[in-house]
Chain A
Amino acid sequence: MNLMALEAATAGNAFTELLGGIAPEGTPTWALWLGAAGAGVGILVAFVSLVAMFSVWLERKVSAHIQCRYGPMYAGGWHGWAQTLADGVKLLLKEDMIPLGADKPLFMLAPALVLGAIFGALVALPLAPGFFFADVNMGLFLILAFSSLTTIGVVMAGWASNSKWSLYGAMREAAQVVAYEVPLGVSLFVPLMVAGTFSLTEASAAQAGWFGMHWFIFQNPFMLPAFIIFFIAALAETKRAPFDLPEAESELVAGFMTEYSGIRWSFFFMEEYAAMFLMSAVGVVFFFGGYHSPLTALFPEEATTGLLYQLVCAGTLIVKSFVGVFVMMWLRWTLPRLRIDQVMSMGYKYLTPLALVCVLGAAIWETIFA
């Protein structure tokens, strides 16, 4: 991508327009673009931190209530909402440990790479019709590519730690992601065939209307199995139980992040929750109507450019995505961890062929009925 293409991609972007309005006359476009990028990075970091903070709190609450406990109740006053904040401060103050035999540069690079990949993937996610960082026309492809880049970071962490637990965790992660990338991508072909575009912005816009009327999940009988396959593969992709073999705290201490502590460890943690949010947001955009809901359908046509509409859209997408995150947590506290051979056989023998069958069926359906 050259600078021109980048400028074109960020043309409709709210930041460049906003900065263009404020900046003095004659400011070169590259300066505007840099400013927009800086603001975007700041917002992304804040967004990912907030999502991770809320998700960790939600996870603790969901796990606690499934076990008939209360979970955190004191920090911050209302149902321990500030518990994650307190933990974050604790993690920041912890000693930064690097094992003696570790490959120091790789060890330090790995968490940054993992978190950076998630930032990269979130760039293509439109929260509202006018709120996105870049309208990438191959958005889904970009997201999948970036989210598999986290695997490189994980393998890097496992190898650089110079520990057998870490290495086992990293190898499992590599095997698992190779097995589940395929059904994840293939199951997404089904909504792609209905949408006819890789762009998340266009796919979201195509599902406007009253509740569920134009949601992709109801467009085609092969959408529901495709969604189930996508969801299972997304669980494996984000290393969530029952596919948390790379972490496997009962066998591998903490898997690939055994040797990490303090803020580097919390980067992996933030990545996990940001990836969960990202995966359910992708599921929402391609199966459950993106940012459309009965609430957004209430807005008249001329009001759809207003700030309020954008905020309602963003809120809708975030709430829908957190429903997906909640189901992931629910599953985590329901199912025991699979064995590695079960994970492999599920990926290769069940999900991949079934996803291919779904694609075939959806293709035939679309040719005949659409």
Chain B
Amino acid sequence: MSSTITAREYFQNVWDSLATTLAGMKITGKYLMQKPITVQYPDERLPIPERYRGIHYLEQEKCINCLACARACPIDCIEMDAIRHGKELEWVLFTLDYQKCMFCELCVYPCPKDCIHMGTEFAFVSYDRSEFNHDLLSYKGMSREARIRKREADIKKAEKEAAKAAAAAEKAAAEASESESPEEPAS
């Protein structure tokens, strides 16, 4: 900082300060008129890429409870349980612990039925840690269709069994009559 300046420098300073201020105001004014680039988040969202790895979703009807995903998980955060009734499944639980999950997508690849996917939902907020042990099931127990199918299968099975029993009874009766008939001439 030199303490003495020439008259030329003095007026140059005055001019510079005004000109640069106006130049700066022009720039900020342009930004002021521009539409803001912020997204009003909860109301509107930026498009999420298709292959984004967010919270999982499960196509429960397709799932066969084979445990392939649970075995593939490197940190064992998937836990599943179902009771098998013939071909139908009665779901007990299918939980994914998001305190552990690292969204590696390794559970998706081994699925033989292609029924577990990574979704696009990323906002997962909770007041309690236990809520992060997230249940992926959309229903517990059996689905309506499965129940109908099971009932039909049961009826068929019962019919079959009845038919079988009837046949057995017939056979038994026939056998009995056969064994009786040779006796009859004897008596």
A residues neighboring B (CB under 8 Å): 62, 64-70, 73, 228, 330-331, 333-335, 341, 346, 350, 354
* CA distance in complex: A70, B36 (Å): 6
Q: Are A334 and B21 in contact, with the CB atoms below 8 A?
A: yes
Across-interface contacts of B1 in A (CB, < 8 A): 341
Take A331-B25, A334-B25, A335-B24 as given contacts and tell me if A69 and B14 are in contact as well, using a CB distance cutoff of 8 Å: no
Summarize B's interface: helix, strand, loop or mixed: helix
On whether the beta carbons of B38 and A66 are closer than 8 Å, the reply is: no
Identity of the chain B residue whose Cβ is nearest the Cβ of A327 in the assembled complex: B25
User: Which residues of chain B from 1 to 26 have a CB within 8 Å of any chain A CB?
Assistant: 1, 10, 13-14, 17-18, 21, 24-25
In this complex, what residue of B is CB-closest to A71?
A: B36
Known contacts A330-B32, A334-B21: A68-B38 contact under CB 8 Å: yes
Q: Considering only CB atoms, which chain B residue lies closest to A341 in the complex?
A: B1
The interface residues of chain A, by DSSP majority, are classed as helix
Given A331-B21, A354-B14, also A65-B31 (CB < 8 A): yes
Q: Which residues on the B side are within 8 Å of A73 (C-beta)?
A: 40
- Known: A330-B25, A331-B25. Contact between A68 and B40, CB under 8 A? no
| Bound CA–CA A68/B24 (angstroms) | 16
User: Please, how many angstroms separate the alpha-carbon atoms of A335 and B25 in the complex?
Assistant: 8
Number of residue pairs across A and B with beta carbons under 8 Å? Answer: 42
Which of A331, A334, A354: most chain B Cβ within 10 A?
A334
Contact at B31–A70, with CB atoms within 8 Å? no
Cα–Cα, bound, A334→B21 (Å): 8
Do the beta carbons of B38 and A334 come within 8 Å of each other?
no
**Chain A, residue nearest B24 (CB):** A334
B2 to chain A, nearest CB (A): 12
Say which residue of A68, A330, A331 sits within 8 Å of B36 (CB atoms): A68
Say whether, besides A68-B34, A335-B21, A341-B1, A330 and B28 are in contact (CB < 8 Å): yes
Ordered by A's residue number, 27 sampled pairs between the chains whose C-beta atoms are within 8 Å are: A62-B32, A64-B36, A65-B31, A65-B32, A65-B36, A66-B28, A66-B31, A67-B31, A68-B34, A68-B37, A68-B38, A69-B36, A70-B38, A73-B40, A228-B18, A330-B25, A330-B29, A330-B32, A331-B21, A331-B25, A333-B28, A334-B25, A334-B28, A335-B24, A350-B10, A350-B13, A350-B14
Residues on A with beta carbons closer than 8 Å to the beta carbon of B25:
330-331, 334
Give chain B residues whose Cβ lies under 8 Å from the Cβ of A334.
21, 24-25, 27-28
Please tell me if the beta carbons of B31 and A68 are within 8 angstroms of each other in the complex: yes
Closest to B1 in A: A341
CA distance in complex: A333, B1 (Å): 27
Residues of B near A62 (CB, < 8 A) are 32
